[in-house]
Structure 1
Amino acid sequence: MPHAAPHRIVFANEKGGTGKSTTAVHIAVALAYRGARVAAIDLDPRQRTLYRYFENRKETAARRGIELPTARFDVLDSSDPAELEANVSEIGEGVDFVVFDTPGRDDPLARHAATEADTLVTPLNDSFVDFDLIGQVDAETFKVRRLSFYAELIWEARIKRGRAQLEQGRREMDWVVVRNRTGHIEARNMARIEQALKELSKRVGFRVAQGLSERVIYRELFPSGLTLLDKGHLGELGTSHLVARQELRELVASLNLPMPAKREPELAFA
């Protein structure tokens, strides 16, 4: 029996600094720990943060002589959607999930990946600067005035997907806006953003999930390629690290991803 097409998880935000790449890596590794076969494609050949993270992870495993659940990974330097699809077919052969990390800017491949997502994850910091990506608000009332170009793009893609779902049996796109929290946001501003997200979600059809807090641990882990889930290899963790790990587990659960049949976790999956 042929393997079903992998579930596409696309991390996309046209603004940088929202924790997109870090969240993508941690979700991919979390899925690998649960026994899923995962591939990861970095669509930002200039920054290549996701690619470097997995490269560091591979080097750490080899240097320490340990096995770490991981993903196949690649970086694509192209603007041609056909090349991306060819890359997906190759690296995604036999996997359960393909995770895409897109650039923090408007980009042809980022648009294509977002519109083809089964699960589209848009991380936002609790800031109206970030909220502007999906909607514009009134300066006095903070009510949503109009959709952004990006939200309209995803809205139209979901309509097309709805037609394809009827004709070809494609999955319905699940758009999840993930609220990553920063320590300096005041409560009143957070409440205004929450209300604006609630209003806009009804118009556009995305879900809102709680994301990750801004913690130094994420930046410290990058050189080793380790994640918060690599408990036996991180040394002694403080309380803030344990809280961060719980946030990650809750985020994974909130994505409601279609997990494959139970199997042993993938180690050194290549």
Structure 2
Amino acid sequence: MARVVTVANQKGGVGKTTTSVNMAAALAHQGAKVLVIDLDPQGNASTALGAEHTSGTVSSYEVLIGQTEPTDAMQASSQHDGLFCIPATIDLAGAEIELVSMVRREYRLHDALRRGFLEEQGFDFVFIDCPPSLGLITINAMTAVDEVLIPIQCEYYALEGVGQLLGNISMIREHLNHNLHISGVLLTMYDARTRLASDVADEVRNQFGEVVLKNVIPRSVKVSEAPGFGQTVIEYDPTSRGAMAYFDAAKEFSERGDYQPHETTGPIGVSPEVYAQLEGEN
């Protein structure tokens, strides 16, 4: 079965899109078949993957409102054989309003993906890049998946908004999708020269425990430059520090598997060892 992951953080500028496309590209280079679904009207993930996303292109908008099947909206990435994208166009900006009156408005993406599409296509991973707000589009992203990957930047106010995100995930988990949980936290924009980055990393690890990936993503000019060339950093400069860090993080995320939460940890996943330990204590 495909691991279907929403990359989410209500705070802007933390590396959501960068993480979505580079984790996907790294996994594709490691032999996986990977799909990125762009649900952000800005279409930055589509740009980074070299996907066509001008207005009128068949996109995630048509998938959400039921005008087309995911297969018809999917584009193969020119960057790697195993990498695919369902792009976002500016049409998606109006989808919030249109979805309000629709049947199963919170489950439109779930229904489109889970009624045969994922099984037919044989994806190993699906990454959903969503906008930095909790509207119906983001809720659709959360009900379509089991796993949430949260990028957190190693800067001031890093955990600002994360408490609210945890609350929203808990609420969706309780009312709309009982399987939803945080299976990974990725530290981004890490500057090893500063004490601040180290302090923030420690704070995040204290709050989230072992669900935080051991590999961190350093500040990297190459990571920032790559989208301007319509590429991921994996394609743009595969030997750069940023690309190597995403390779390592993707490999770790893949090899360690899905960290499931224990009933005592809310929506936050734990390692199998910690899970067994908590079960023993209970």
Q: Structure 1's 56 and 131: CA in aligned 2 closer, same or farther, altered over 3 A?
A: same
CA distance in 1, matches of 2:124, 2:76: 24
Matches within 5 A, 1:116-265: 116-134=144-162, 148-157=163-172, 173-183=181-191, 186-187=194-195, 189-201=196-208, 206-230=211-235, 241-256=239-254
Secondary structure at the aligned position of 2:50 is classed as helix
Q: Structure 1's 97 and 191: CA in aligned 2 closer, same or farther, altered over 3 A?
A: closer
2:32/2:82 contact within 8 Å kept: no
User: Which one has a larger percent strand, Structure 1 or Structure 2?
Assistant: 1
Q: Which moved more, 1:175-184 or 1:97-106?
A: 175-184
Aligned residue-pair number? 220
2:51/2:87 contact within 8 Å kept: no
1:179/1:211 contact within 8 Å kept: yes
The percent identity for this pair of structures is 19
**In the alignment, residue 37 of structure 1 is paired with which amino acid?**
K
RMSD: 3.5
Q: CA deviation at 1:12?
A: 0.5
Secondary structure at the aligned position of 2:127 is classed as strand
1:113 aligns with 141
1:201/1:207 contact within 8 Å kept: yes
Gaps of 5+ in 2: 53-74, 97-104, 258-282
Q: Structure 1's 244 and 105: CA in aligned 2 closer, same or farther, altered over 3 A?
A: same
Gaps of 5+ in 1: 135-147, 165-169, 260-270
2:17/2:44 contact within 8 Å kept: yes
Secondary structure at the aligned position of 1:226 is classed as coil
CA distance in 1, matches of 2:191, 2:30: 31
2:152/2:158 contact within 8 Å kept: yes
Secondary structure at the aligned position of 1:98 is classed as strand
2:27 aligns with 31
2:213/2:253 contact within 8 Å kept: no
CA distance in 2, matches of 1:52, 1:91: 24
1:125/1:182 contact within 8 Å kept: yes
For residues 17-49 of structure 1, give each alpha carbon's deviation from its aligned partner in whole angstroms, at most 9, with x where no partner exists: 11111111111122222332222211111x111
Q: TM-score, normalised by structure 1?
A: 0.66
